[in-house]
């Protein structure tokens, strides 16, 4: 059966039109309940066991591994942020003079500043692939730029402002041909857009957990491939060392890390409140097939996007962008401040990114929300 709207799973008021999951997701009721349960457990610390710091984290990592189609959960860690995960990547890359790092125009800052710093450290070069006049050619422009001097390609699965989808398979093939690393920011796609580690085989995938994975703010996930198996983490915490589950023996200091990606886990990764909420969230997300979510989001939005296009508010053709997140280009004749004020007055929440009005939707949204959006746009134009 096709996916249907499931607003009943959330505590969202009837008068709210929330089209901003790409910024912050609302909480499933089950996630809210898990957080409350975790807070209550804080009041009874005597009931906690040492294993509570480890076993729930392993269970959580297994859920994320399942989500990205990775068989080995030891390649997955929980993180506090995308910038933290990217810092672990950069900490284990050495470059040569004039090596090139490829990124995309107007990339999210957490996937830019770290590479700017790395390039400066090694006198390497940042190569930014600008959005071409015909956006459909963006993949071709990127692929053309990958060459023997390319050391790293670090991009999002989709562009965070307009939803343009990059051809990860083709990029992975070209980076392998040129012995370059491939690092993906999956913050705006994992859980909402079909993705498989087995198909893409990136060197690293870092993903925020508070957007399309519906976790609390301050959580993220990381996948680290074999290139990073013997790397150096950016912090030295007790829990990522071998045998750390034996709390009585912690001062028998251990030089070895736990295997594979475990070394990149943050300190206090066993935060029982966050882990409970994240676990509840991933269980909900795993019930939803990304391909079906894409179809659902397209079905509730495509008619209104055609109307908006007729009004001068254009978006990329659905064949070249995600359906859960897309940018609607604001025409020059529209006063953006007036548009923002009208949206606020009508309790419509979305984001403005550059020249785009960024719209993002999920199973709590309906076609009526998009109809309300287009009616507000019409009122601004008319005024």
Whether 2 maps to a domain, the answer reads: no
End residue of a domain, out of 285, 318, 339: 285
Q: Are residues 162 and 41 in the same domain?
A: yes
List, for residues 103-116, the tens digit of each pLDDT value.
Answer: 999 999 999 999 99
Whether 169 maps to a domain, the answer reads: yes
Residue 257 belongs to domain with CATH number: 3.40.640.10
Which helix (H) or strand (E) is 193 found in, with range?
A: none
Per-residue model confidence (pLDDT) at position 269: 86
Whether 270 maps to a domain, the answer reads: yes
- Rounded CA separation 204/213 (Å): 18
Mean pLDDT of the chain: 94
Give strand ranges (E) for 217-333.
220-224, 325-329
Per the structure, the complete domain to which residue 338 belongs is given by 7-27+289-382
Is a pLDDT exceeding 80 seen at residue 45? no
Which position has the higher pLDDT, 285 or 51? 285
Q: Are residues 258 and 304 in the same domain?
A: no
Whether 87 maps to a domain, the answer reads: yes
CB 187 within 8 A of CB 207: yes
Is a pLDDT exceeding 80 seen at residue 241? yes
Cα first-last separation, the chain = 43
Q: Are residues 213 and 348 in the same domain?
A: no
For the residues 300-321, what does the mean pLDDT come to?
A: 95
Q: Are residues 23 and 171 in the same domain?
A: no
Q: What share of the chain is helix, strand, coil (3-state, %, to 5)?
A: 45, 15, 40
Q: Are residues 224 and 331 in the same domain?
A: no
Q: Are residues 236 and 103 in the same domain?
A: yes
Tell me how many degrees the CA angle 292-352-85 measures, rounded to the nearest 5. Answer: 65
Per-residue model confidence (pLDDT) at position 239: 87
Give me the helix-helix angle, 336-345 and 367-382, nearest 10°.
Answer: 130
Per-residue model confidence (pLDDT) at position 97: 93
Per-residue model confidence (pLDDT) at position 17: 97
Per-residue model confidence (pLDDT) at position 279: 98
Whether 222 maps to a domain, the answer reads: yes
Confidence of residue 158 (pLDDT cuts 50, 70, 90): very high
- If one counts the domains in the chain, the total is 2
For the residues 337-341, what does the mean pLDDT come to?
A: 96
Whether 165 maps to a domain, the answer reads: yes
End residue of a domain, out of 237, 255, 285: 285
Q: Which strands, in side-by-side order, build the sheet including 356-360?
A: 325-329, 356-360, 351-353
Whether 334 maps to a domain, the answer reads: yes
Q: Are residues 254 and 165 in the same domain?
A: yes
For the residues 282-309, what does the mean pLDDT come to?
A: 97
Q: Are residues 179 and 258 in the same domain?
A: yes
Confidence of residue 42 (pLDDT cuts 50, 70, 90): confident
Per-residue model confidence (pLDDT) at position 13: 93
Least trusted range by pLDDT, from 15-19, 93-97, 255-259, 273-277: 255-259
Per-residue model confidence (pLDDT) at position 106: 92
Q: Are residues 277 and 351 in the same domain?
A: no
Per-residue model confidence (pLDDT) at position 362: 98
| Cβ partners under 8 Å of residue 58, min gap 6 | 73
- Rounded CA separation 10/337 (Å): 31
Q: Are residues 232 and 307 in the same domain?
A: no
Per-residue model confidence (pLDDT) at position 383: 77
Q: Specify which residues 204 forms β-bridges with.
A: 183, 224
Residue 308 belongs to domain with CATH number: 3.90.1150.10
End residue of a domain, out of 258, 285, 312: 285
Sign of the alpha-carbon dihedral angle for 208, 201, 109, 57: positive
List, for residues 180-234, the tens digit of each pLDDT value.
Answer: 999 999 999 999 999 999 999 999 999 999 999 999 999 999 999 999 999 999 9
List, for residues 344-360, the tens digit of each pLDDT value.
Answer: 999 999 999 888 999 99
Is a pLDDT exceeding 90 seen at residue 236? yes
Whether 1 maps to a domain, the answer reads: no
Q: Are residues 101 and 234 in the same domain?
A: yes
Is a pLDDT exceeding 70 seen at residue 47? no
Q: Are residues 168 and 301 in the same domain?
A: no
């Amino acid at each position: 059966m096709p996916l249907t709207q499931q607003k009943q799973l959330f505590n969202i008021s009837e008068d709210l039109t929330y089209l901003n999951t790409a910024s912050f997701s609302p909480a499933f009721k089950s996630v809210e309940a898990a957080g409350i349960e975790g807070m209550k457990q804080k009041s009874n610390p005597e009931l906690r066991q040492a294993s509570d710091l480890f076993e729930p984290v392993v269970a959580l990592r297994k859920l994320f591994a399942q989500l990205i189609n990775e068989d080995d959960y030891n390649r997955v860690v929980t993180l506090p942020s995308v910038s933290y995960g990217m810092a672990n990547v950069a900490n284990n890359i050495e470059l040569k003079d004039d090596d090139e790092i490829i990124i995309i125009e107007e990339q999210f800052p957490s996937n830019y500043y770290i590479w700017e710093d790395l390039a400066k450290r090694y006198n390497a070069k940042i190569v930014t692939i600008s959005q071409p006049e015909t956006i459909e050619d963006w993949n071709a422009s990127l692929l053309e730029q990958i060459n023997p001097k390319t050391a790293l390609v670090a991009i999002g699965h989709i562009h965070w402002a307009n939803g343009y989808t990059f051809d990860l398979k083709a990029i992975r093939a070209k980076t392998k041909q040129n012995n370059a690393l491939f690092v993906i920011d999956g913050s705006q796609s994992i859980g909402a857009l079909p993705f498989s580690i087995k198909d893409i085989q990136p060197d690293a995938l870092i993903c925020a957990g508070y957007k399309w994975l519906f976790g609390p703010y301050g959580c993220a996930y990381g996948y680290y491939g074999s290139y990073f198996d013997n790397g150096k983490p950016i912090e030295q915490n007790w829990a990522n060392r071998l045998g750390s589950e034996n709390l009585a023996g912690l001062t028998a200091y251990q030089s070895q890390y736990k295997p594979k990606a475990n070394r990149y886990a943050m300190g206090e990764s066993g935060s029982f409140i966050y882990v409970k909420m994240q676990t509840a969230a991933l269980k909900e997300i795993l019930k939803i097939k990304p391909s079906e979510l894409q179809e659902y989001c397209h079905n509730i939005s495509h008619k209104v996007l055609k109307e908006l296009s007729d009004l001068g508010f254009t978006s990329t053709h659905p064949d070249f962008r995600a359906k859960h997140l897309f940018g609607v280009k604001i025409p020059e004749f529209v006063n953006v401040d007036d548009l923002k004020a009208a949206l606020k007055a009508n309790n419509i929440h979305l984001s403005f990114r550059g020249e785009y009005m960024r719209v993002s939707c999920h199973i709590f949204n309906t076609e009526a929300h998009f109809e309300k959006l287009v009616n507000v746009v019409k009122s601004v134009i008319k005024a």
